[in-house]
Amino acid sequence: MTNSTVDNVIAAEINVPLDVTLARSDERWTLVIRRQFRQAPERIWEMLTEPDQLARWSPVVPDRPLTLPGPATCRENPGDEPINATVITADAPRLLVHHWGTDLLKWTITPSDDGSILELHQTFDDRNIASSYAGGWQICLGTLAANADDSTHERVTGQRAMDYGWEQLRDFYHAEMEKMSAGE
């Protein structure tokens, strides 16, 4: 970590292990990430679809709720270049499918005995970016978990992710994905 000033609650949530796999689908790659949350599916749905909730944990924030199909514009920060986030499917509180630029994201929320299981399928073109995505999502989902109980922990994006170990996570996932590839 490059800065000793980190939120211990976020750091602990980031360190919760994720189930991560990478698979080839046609000419694209799909990163699959699963994480358990203690909150009910309805709360996780709200965290995935409402701009004010996404602004608490997500790398990008849409200009409208992602609760209905159709176009949306996302930005990490208000002055940034927009990113297309067209919603394809919004089936509350179970399934959200949308584009994020050229990537396709499919979020599935399944009830569990002690909350919810969130599964993300992110489909993209360049396999080399997979470990960066995995490390970034581990930080984002840890931040989501820290804020899902209406806490006011910081949003960890951009350079701030370095303080929470993004580079180490990226390197870890790179090594793990190399092992997955060797086993094919």
Residue 60 lies in a domain: yes
Identify the CATH number of the domain in which residue 134 sits.
3.30.530.20
Look up residue 140 and give its two tokens. Answer: 């984002």
Range of the domain at 129: 8-182
Q: Does any domain span residue 2?
A: no
Name the pTM for this structure. Answer: 0.92
What is residue 4's predicted lDDT score, i.e. its pLDDT? 61
Examine residue 165 and state whether it is found in any structural domain, yes or no.
yes
Per-residue pLDDT at 158? 86
Q: HSE of 26 in the Cβ direction (CA atoms, 13 Å)?
A: 4
- Burial of 125 (C-beta count, 10 Å sphere; 0-12/13-18/19+): exposed
Structural domain contains residue 1: no
Give the pLDDT of residue 119. 98
Q: In this predicted structure, what is the pLDDT of residue 184? A: 55
pLDDT value of residue 1: 45
Does 16 fall in a domain? yes
The pLDDT, as a whole number, for residue 113 is 95
* Structural domain total, the chain: 1
The stretches in the chain having pLDDT less than 50 are 1-2
CA gyration radius for the chain? 16
The predicted pLDDT at position 183 comes to 61
Predicted local distance difference test score (pLDDT) of residue 28: 95
